[in-house]
Structures are given as structure tokens and as C-alpha cells.
Structure 1
């Protein structure tokens, strides 16, 4: 089973900067959430999204480099693994010009039923679009 990555490009604008003139740490958190949501939406039907959702259990972000105004970044995400009701999603943000890693993030998510707001079982229907499965 191999994760299928999902990518988006982003250009740093002045609204992303803090008083030090580099990307604000809160922007990275927003980008982690936005790319995660975009991947979920891209790979699932509206019917599935009406029935199920993901709640964040925890985030871990390792900051490796700073990013500055005008830099083009590549946001890449994938599901690293999953269990009955949880999954671990990774997000890497790199700078396009030199391929340096800006941040590495790991988020643990709980899969929930939209109606009950209680944990729901992660089925093959849910994870199959996110992985390549080796044939025997």
C-alpha cells in the first residue's frame, strides 16, 4: 500500500508575512488544514462528505526553513497510515526554486459521522482513493 500524494502550488504574498517579514507560523497551520481539506474534497464524493468528516486530534509541525514574500511553494500531502477510526496525514511544504523543505507536518485525525459527531469506522471505500494497492 503506497500513499498517493496530492499537491498544490502557492505564492507567498504580503498577507502571509509577520513582523519579521517571513511567513507567519499561523499561515503554515492554515495551509496544512487547507491542503488536507482540498485532498479530501478532490478524492471523495459529495455524498461521502455529507455523511463523514475529520476532526483534528493533534498537530506536529517542524519548521526547517523560512519562506519570504514572492517565493513559490509546493504543498504536498498524503495519508501516511490509518486504523479503525484514525489516520495520520503528512504535509510537506517545499520552496520551488531550490526544493528545500520549509516545514514538515504530521496531523492525527479522527473520522466522524456527521450526524452523530461520534467516531466512525474507516472503510475501504474511504481510503482506497488515497492509496495504491499492490496486486498479488
Structure 2
């Protein structure tokens, strides 16, 4: 299983009236880390040929992150795709070493040329499993 990791520091606009990262920002970061993983690991011809769309998010908010607190975002794909879909896992760990948010998101692959969902090609999946 290949993992991908990056560090994110919240911008002032990411902080809500309670003084921590807003829930909607976590959703954006899930997409950001998934996209970064795709761009880092995928074959360039696959990047040109396919797009990904989210079909489901499951998010557990376990703790808060405040202004200036960098989080480590780690993502991985634990199981092979099922048809056009696969599940991506994401964990955001705070500066105290505790997971603050964890998510499982389901993504579907779309052919750029036709705009249609298709079965995940084996050579695409191989770069991530």
C-alpha cells in the first residue's frame, strides 16, 4: 500500500468563529491531498485521460486545530477498486501527534474524452495499491 503525505497549515480564512479549522475546510483539504497524491503518483498519460469525482465522504471529527497549527495529512488506498470506484483513506494528525480528523472517501473515475464513468483500469490502480 502506497501512502502519500503532506503538511498543511491553516490560513486565517480557514479558522471559524470557534477559533479552529472549519468543517468545510477539512473537506477541501481531503480533496487537496487526494489530488496531490494523484498528481504525484499517476502516470502523466493517465492524468491527461482521466478525472476523479467524489461520490461519498465519511468524516470523523476527533479534535480541533487552531490558527498556525500545522497538520500532517496522510492518504492511502487500502483495497483494490470495485468497478469504477475505490475508497481513499485520509488521516490528519495535529502537532500533538493525535489524529484530529479521519475520513474515508469514495471516488469514481471519469474518462475525460467522453465524460463517462468507467471501470478503473488495472494500470491506473497499480500506481496506488
Task: Work out the CA distance in 2 between the residues paired with 1:65 and 1:53.
Answer: 32
| Structure showing the higher strand proportion among its residues | 1
Report what 1:89 is aligned to.
Answer: 88
Unaligned ranges ≥5, structure 2: none
Report what 2:63 is aligned to.
Answer: 65
Instruction: Select the structure of larger CA radius of gyration.
Output: 1
Q: Is the 8 A contact 1:59 1:105 kept in 2?
A: yes
Count of residues paired in the alignment: 128
Report what 1:50 is aligned to.
Answer: 48
Task: Work out the CA distance in 1 between the residues paired with 2:121 and 2:28.
Answer: 28
Report what 1:80 is aligned to.
Answer: 78
Kindly indicate whether residue 24 of structure 2 is the aligned counterpart of residue 18 of structure 1: no
Structure 1 runs (4+) deviating above 6 angstroms are none
Task: Work out the CA distance in 1 between the residues paired with 2:49 and 2:99.
Answer: 36
Instruction: Write out per-residue CA displacement over residues 70-112 of structure 1, whole angstroms, 9 at most, x where no aligned residue.
Output: 112100011132112110001100113x211110111111111
The TM-score with structure 1 as length reference comes to 0.88
Tell me the SS of whatever aligns to 1:61: strand
Task: Work out the CA distance in 2 between the residues paired with 1:126 and 1:39.
Answer: 13
Kindly state the Cα deviation for residue 46 of structure 1 after the two structures are TM-superposed. Answer: 2.6
The correspondence of residues 100-119 of structure 1 with structure 2, limited to 5 A, is 100-119=98-117
Q: What is the CA RMSD across the aligned residues, in angstroms? A: 1.1
Kindly state the Cα deviation for residue 123 of structure 1 after the two structures are TM-superposed. Answer: 2.1
